[in-house]
Copies of this chain bind each other. A is one copy, B any other.
Amino acid sequence: MHFIKNCWYVAAWSHELEPGRLMSRMVAGESLALYRTSDGTAVAFEDSCPHRRAPLSLGRVEGDDLRCMYHGMRFAPNGVCNEMPGSEKIPAKAKVRTIPITERDNWIWVWLGDPNRADLGLIPEGFGSDGQGWKMNFGQIDYAANYELINDNLCDGSHIAFLHENTLGKNMGRRFCDEHPTITRLPRGVRVDRNFIDQRVVAPWVKTPDSRVDVLTTYDFLVPGIFLFRTGFYEPGTAARIEEGKLTAPPYFERVDQQAVTPMSNKESRYYFAAAHKLQPGLPEMLGHIFGLMSRAFEEDRVMIEAQQRNWDRYPDARPIVATPHDEAPLIMRSHIERMLAAENGVLP
């Protein structure tokens, strides 16, 4: 398994890690035990007791500490063993590896690489939700597929015209493949801007003649697989009037998506997705509808991508693939990951 080590991976939603409970997570080939100390701070250990490799996630939280429940060794949040039952002396090597961990935007992030390089500034700026102003729903799906196949999918929306023709792409026909977004390479990712001008949208907030609006969308997709998406529905003509990136009027309706693709093993990945929209006076709550549509569409993705993975397994000789103009963003993302992997392994990119 070759994964970038020196980057922040999403290991869980914050709300999944309940006080007093232990959680086991597989992130980029490493098995982690997560818990919260008495003040709520998240801790991540390698999920293996240094005594006899019992999983620490089968242990017990005791105050700030974690006790292995096979033979009773107890570890402080810094990983140091502070009780070894039946032994008066505790050897120095009775220490479990700790993993840098933090929380931001409703996600728990872990850093598997060199702890000295665990720069919090490298965490992508998400949206998050405190339940005020924005309403956010959370979901996750496990894939029997390599995470880069999911990255490819998220970087290239042209598949919406075909794979999601009855869900996400229903009212937009082939605009997703016939029109091309603006692709911008970022230092650790790619930006995709795309305006659907004069698009018919049937929704309670659309009161224009013929239900026409301008739909302005933009997202950043960042290493290792963080997807941050904004959609705004505007008065017709807005897109044409944009000057120097400034909008002339607020949107009728605005929503965001934040998603993370986390490799577990080479062929297993976890996909965290959240959708949110602004709560606006006079507008009904739309999130249940949006989330239901997304869930159906993501199931279409899962079936296709897992089948695609099985084809890659069948043809391990990596015969060349044919690229289309829509592959630009996916290929940028793959080149970032390749470059970072090469750098970590001492190979010139």
- Asked whether A178 is an interface residue with its Cβ less than 8 Å from the other chain, the reply is yes
Query: What are the residues of chain B within 8 A of A53 when measuring CB–CB?
Result: 308, 311-312, 315, 321
Residues in B whose Cβ lies below 8 Å from that of A158: 71-72, 85-86
Assess whether B93 is in contact with A322, with CB atoms less than 8 Å apart.
yes
Q: A168 interface residue, CB < 8 Å from B?
A: no
CB of A322 within 8 A of CB of B85, answer no
A343 is an interface residue with CB less than 8 A from chain B: no
Main secondary structure of the interface of A (DSSP, over half): loop
Flag whether A98 is at the interface (Cβ < 8 A): no
How many residues from A make CB contacts under 8 Å with B?
51
A118 within 8 A of B: no
Measured CA separation A181–B10 after assembly (Å): 47
For residue A282, CB closer than 8 A to chain B, the reply is no
With A54-B308, A162-B71, A162-B72 as known contacts, state yes or no: A86 contacts B303, CB within 8 Å. no
Give chain A interface residues in 42-98, CB to chain B under 8 Å: 47-48, 50-55, 58, 67-73, 84-87, 91, 93-94
Given contacts A55-B308, A70-B304, A158-B71, contact A50 B322 (CB under 8 A): yes
Nearest opposing residue in chain B for A304, CB measure: B70
Is A194 positioned at the interface, with any CB of B under 8 Å from its CB?
Answer: no
A163 interface residue, CB < 8 Å from B? yes
Kindly report which residue of chain B lies nearest to residue A310, judged by CB atoms: B55
Contact A48/B311 with A321-B53, A326-B71 known, Cβ cut-off 8 Å: yes
Q: Please determine whether B326 and A174 come into contact, CB atoms closer than 8 angstroms.
A: no
B177 & A91 in contact (Cβ 8 Å cutoff):
no
Contacts of A325 in B (CB 8 A): 86-87
User: Closest chain B residue to A72 by CB distance?
Assistant: B162
User: Is A2 part of the contact surface with B, judged by Cβ < 8 Å?
Assistant: no
Which B residues are in CB contact (< 8 Å) with A180?
A: 86
Which B residues lie within 8 Å of A247 (CB)? none
Give the distance to chain B from A157, nearest Cβ to Cβ, in Å: 10
Query: With an 8 A cutoff between CB atoms, is A293 at the interface?
Result: no
Q: Which of A91, A320, A324 lies at the interface centre, i.e. has the most chain B CB atoms within 10 A of its CB?
A: A324
Question: Could you list 24 A-B pairs, sorted by A, with CB under 8 Å?
Answer: A31-B311, A48-B314, A48-B315, A51-B321, A51-B324, A52-B308, A55-B307, A67-B162, A69-B162, A70-B159, A70-B304, A71-B156, A71-B162, A71-B177, A72-B158, A72-B159, A72-B161, A72-B177, A84-B324, A85-B158, A85-B162, A85-B326, A86-B177, A91-B322
Which 7 pairs from chain A and chain B are nearest by CB?
A85-B177, A53-B311, A72-B162, A55-B307, A86-B177, A50-B322, A48-B311
Chain A positions within 8 Å of B, measured between CB atoms, are 31, 47-48, 50-55, 58, 67-73, 84-87, 91, 93-94, 152, 156, 158-159, 161-163, 174, 177-178, 180, 303-304, 307-308, 310-312, 314-315, 320-326
